[in-house]
Amino acid sequence: MTKFSFEDKLRAVNMYLRGYGSNTVAKVYKVKNHSNILMWVKRYQKYGIDGLKVRRPKYDYDGNFKLNVLNWRKRHKASYPETELQFDISNPGTIATWQRKLDTKGIDALFTRRGRAKHMTTNNNKQAEKSELSELERLRAENRALRVENEYLKKLDALVQKRGHRKKNIKSSKN
């Protein structure tokens, strides 16, 4: 898709507002689809000159905003471009992506962030430390249990030996 400068969009909008048709304006400015001209006009009418400025897309939409946009679109039976215009989103394809995620992966997909977690390395280190600590705790508990078992077996052995001596003493005293 060809990017059009702010000046080209403004000239195209002004030409349309002077009475030329969207097809004619699209041919003059070499815009493949005349509906782009109509969208520029709508953005100009709603947001003024700022609506035509080339913008960087926002990547910071939170899950609640996405859900509100999709609910509004459904309630009003609006198209993606109409919804884009209503919420000042830079690209209607963004809304289509949100809808696809909602349909295929469910509502949780709207709340997940793209890319790598900001503190991924620290989280991994914390998780590693946590698992090492839990492993250490487990080993210590196992060690304590083995010591108790060992003490028990020693006492049992001593008791068995003591009884064995008694029986020998009883047998030898009877003789």
Domain that holds residue 18: 1-54
How many domains are contained in the chain? 3
Q: Contact at 8 Å (CB) between 66 and 110? A: yes
Q: What is the DSSP letter of 21?
A: -
For residues 48 and 89, state if they share a domain. no
Examine the domain organization and report whether 79 and 50 are in the same domain: no
The verdict on 133 and 81 lying in the same domain is no
Residue with tokens 């690209």: 91
- Do 126 and 154 lie in one domain? The reply is yes
Whether 99 and 78 have beta carbons less than 8 Å apart is answered as no
Residue type for position 65: F
Q: Looking at the structure, tell me whether residues 49 and 94 fall in a common domain.
A: no
Q: Are residues 128 and 173 in the same domain?
A: yes
Alpha-carbon distance values, 175 to 163, 164, 171 (Å) = 19, 17, 7
Q: What is the pLDDT along the chain (175 residues), one digit of tens a residue?
A: 457 888 999 999 999 999 999 999 999 999 998 988 998 998 899 888 888 877 666 567 888 888 899 999 999 999 998 898 888 887 788 899 989 988 998 888 888 776 666 555 566 677 777 777 788 888 887 888 788 778 878 888 888 888 877 776 766 666 5
